Amino acid sequence: MEKEPEPEETDPAQVGVFSGTSSNHPTGTKYFNITKNDLGSKPARVNSNTERAKFVDGIDAKVKAIFADKTDETLLREKFTQTFVNYIGKSGDYDVKPTIADISLPAGKYSIYYFGGEDLPVIVDLPDAARVWLQLTPQSLHTLFATIGTKTHNMKEISLTVNQDYTGDITFYNENGWLPDLYSLVIMNDNAPQPQPVTEITGYSKDTGVVSISRGEDFPENAVVVAAGYTNDVLTDVKYAAVGSSNEIEVGTVAGDTVKVYLWDSLENMNPLL
């Protein structure tokens, strides 16, 4: 049976995932232009990969969440490792700057996650920006991130501040040697609105009669939880309790084959929140 494609990212903070080139990049990714700023006599190479990448221990949870396969969180999603660009940087006949061409970044702060390669630093440049427009924070050079086969690759995290709206290129380079195996790169907008907490009922214990909830941003102060017991679809028992300041509310056990739990804005209005 053919494997279903992975769902596309919906995180509003994600500016883009970049991997491979225009003729060879995974579904759901954008790509690098490897010829626009190529100054050497030999071009960069683009290779395909079928081996899965496994996280090393101790990865930061926030970064891991960007890359993890939702069906097996010990592995990276396949689109992050299906292709890689090689012979990046300057060495011998190679002088290659993989480029994200003609990208638009509103003024603000961004995080760039560069997956692949070893300890040599990557030099990030926005060649179409005046120096006063941007600020780059050097990345950690020794963040081991994931293993593919027998080789463990680094994650280089770069903080970028753009003081004015920017449209142009972003290049990646090192003039002192090769940057091997650029598998993928993710740009995150650190200014994007963060998801707000959602009001929901997260659990109910038939043994203890305790209802568990989480609170949204505008949770009403007089909210009430209601537990209703049903037998053969007939209401047989009801209990309720004010929520108060706790997210664990002891309503009590109710009689019935089936228990349904409701959340109201107040006992007076009885407008359902859920």
**pLDDT reported for residue 131:** 66
- Which one-letter amino acid corresponds to residue 260? K
**pLDDT reported for residue 202:** 87
pTM greater than the 0.85 cutoff: no
Q: What is the pLDDT along the chain (274 residues), one digit of tens a residue?
A: 334 444 455 688 899 999 999 999 999 899 999 999 998 889 999 999 999 999 999 998 889 999 999 889 999 999 999 999 999 989 889 999 999 999 999 999 999 999 998 778 888 999 888 766 777 776 655 589 999 999 999 999 999 999 899 999 999 998 888 888 999 999 999 987 766 777 888 888 989 999 999 888 778 889 999 999 999 999 999 999 999 888 999 999 999 999 999 999 998 888 888 7
**pLDDT reported for residue 109:** 92
Structure tokens at 160: 């970028």
**In what side-by-side order are the strands of the sheet with 224-231?**
234-242, 224-231, 258-264
Report yes or no: 192 and 166 within 8 Å, Cβ to Cβ: no
Structure tokens at 199: 């009001």
Which residue in 113, 110, 116, 68 sits closest to 88, CA to CA?
116
SS3 per residue for 152-213: EEEEEEEEEEECCCEEEEEEEECCCCEECCECEEEEEECCCCCCCCCCEEEEECCCCCEEEE
**pLDDT reported for residue 5:** 44
DSSP letter at 220?
Answer: -
Distance of CA 193 to the CA centre of its chain: 14
